[in-house]
Chain A
Amino acid sequence: MTAATAMQPATTVPDGTDLVEWYYEQGYSDGLPVAPPTPAKLEAMLAALGGDPQRVEARVPPRWGALTREVLAINMVMAGCRPEYAPVVRAAMLALCEPAFNLNGVQATTHMAAPLLVVNGPVAREIGMNAGCNAFGSGNRANATIGRAIRLVLLNVGGGWPGDLDKSTLGHPGKYTYAVAENEALGLLAPYHVEKGFRAEDSTVFVMAAEPPHSVTNHVADDPQGILDSICSAMSTFAHNNAVSSGHCAVVLGPEHAATIARHGWKRHDVKSYLWMNSGNAFRDIAFDHRYGKVYNRNLPVWYRREPDARIPIVPGPDNIHLFVIGGEAGRFSAFIPGWGHMSSPVLREIEREGAGGPRRDGGGPRCVDGTCYL
């Protein structure tokens, strides 16, 4: 008997039952039809997860349901995943359930945040993730169903049902699926995970509680400063959550913009530092000039000067800007992705795969400090 055969159906229904409708009726769907699990598909998915169906990988808040491998396999099959996506989805769920991420808060908040996944390394190419044209959009099975599997787990196991344990006022479309890969193939900047001390041949998943991407258009500039000034403009509003809640954000350079920046010899750290130094709000703006009472804002770092014309950074430092190159080769567009705030820390986690052994991190070096390499 293989481990997979230990998986037990919840029940049985008469042959010929419309299973898509059955799963809807149970309330197990994200709103779209699910792929009804079959014993064969579950067995393959469980094997890809490493067998051992009753092993608890995590408890998913706010319901704190036990995410066994069996339950993960069921949700992945329902989402339409192929078995080769299993290491990515598993690593992403483990990242989301690390205490620093505060999934409990992310799930329950009235804010619209959804977990954003960015995959780095060879696994993204091997399973066919889309890091190119329309990467954040529709049309790619791996992106669509990896993100959807995460959402189904957050709903079914985590109990994040709208109006019940998910109190989001508005939500956003990324709550269906929000999974992409970095476009490393173009080789324009060092990959994100290499900046964080992983080897290029390692595979990682990055998760961040995120607002939707905000498009940044710049068809004019032929130097880094001009392109990055447009991104600074998108960052420098007091409408998004970073402005008043600090934390982390992401910036996505489209390949045309990244190529211009790289051609001028700018590295990742130059880009992040420029963005940090040249974005921000005046304290008077986020305090509404104290029109509604004296504002201190305890959600911003204590070291910010609370004076009317003091610059309030969007995030506390350049390393709180998570930089990626994503998208198709044509088009002078980038994107700013605000985060939720200091209440959740992004998590970068290795995707464990067979045959990908060896030491994972370089352990620092002349350009690496505290796990961050200034590449």
Chain B
Amino acid sequence: MKNGSHDPGRRMAVYDPRGVAGAEARAIAPRIERLDGLRLGILDNTKWNANKLLRELRDQLAAGHPFAATNYYRKESFSRFADAALVERIRAENDVVVTAIGD
């Protein structure tokens, strides 16, 4: 429905309610060519079935690849960010890391 008395030469202001979302472009890590001999980290987010899913995945991967180490970690809460100290530890102790929701 248009205003019957509008002036076609005039313009009206409209506004963007979204705010700016700053995003920092980051390259993804180079793709791993071979798993053998690497340190495998598993991050369990503590969702209902995450441990079942991830333990099975870990066992299947370990059956097919001789890892130098397999490490298992848990987040404090599935919905919150992993603690920064935990992320640092995972980074230091592993070459590849697998995580999953397991809802």
* A22 contact set on B, CB distance < 8 A: 14
Q: What does the 1/0 interface line of B9-30 toward A look like (CB < 8 Å)?
A: 1111111111111100000000
Most buried by A among B2, B13, B19, B77: B19
Nearest-Cβ distance from residue B47 to partner chain A, whole angstroms: 9
Q: Is the CB of B19 within 8 A of A343?
A: no
Residues of B within 8 A of A16 (CB): 2-3, 6, 8
Q: Give the contact-size bracket for chain B.
A: 20 to 34
In the complex with contacts A28-B18, A64-B21, A152-B17, A343-B12 CB distance below 8 A: no
Q: How many residues of A contact B (CB 8 A)?
A: 47
Cβ contact within 8 Å between B2 and A157: no
Cα–Cα, bound, A156→B3 (Å): 28
- The answer to whether B17 touches A13, judged by C-beta atoms less than 8 angstroms apart, is no
Residue B94, interface by CB 8 Å: no
Minimum distance in angstroms from A338 CB to a CB of chain B: 16
Question: In chain A between 132 and 183, which residues have their CB closer than 8 angstroms to a CB of chain B?
Answer: 152, 156-157, 159
Q: How far is the CB of B84 from chain A (nearest CB, A)?
A: 12
Let me know if B21 and A11 touch, CB within 8 A.
no
Say if the beta carbon of A213 comes within 8 Å of chain B: no
Is the Cβ of A342 less than 8 Å from the Cβ of B19? no
CA distance A60 to B19 in the complex (A): 9
Contacts of B77 in A (CB 8 A): 342-343
A63 to B23, CA, bound (A): 10
Bound-state CA distance A29–B7 (Å) is 27
- The residues of A that contact B14 with a CB separation of less than 8 Å are 9-13, 19, 22-23, 36-37
20 additional contacts (CB under 8 A) given A68-B19, A343-B79 = A9-B14, A14-B10, A14-B11, A15-B6, A15-B7, A15-B10, A15-B11, A17-B2, A26-B16, A37-B14, A64-B21, A65-B18, A65-B20, A67-B19, A74-B17, A157-B18, A157-B19, A293-B52, A342-B77, A343-B78
Q: Which residues of B are at the interface with A, using a C-beta cutoff of 8 A?
A: 1-3, 6-22, 46, 52, 77-81, 103
Residues on A close to B: CB < 8 A? 7, 9-19, 22-23, 26, 28, 36-39, 42, 60, 63-68, 71, 74-75, 78, 102, 104-105, 109-110, 152, 156-157, 159, 293, 298-299, 342-344
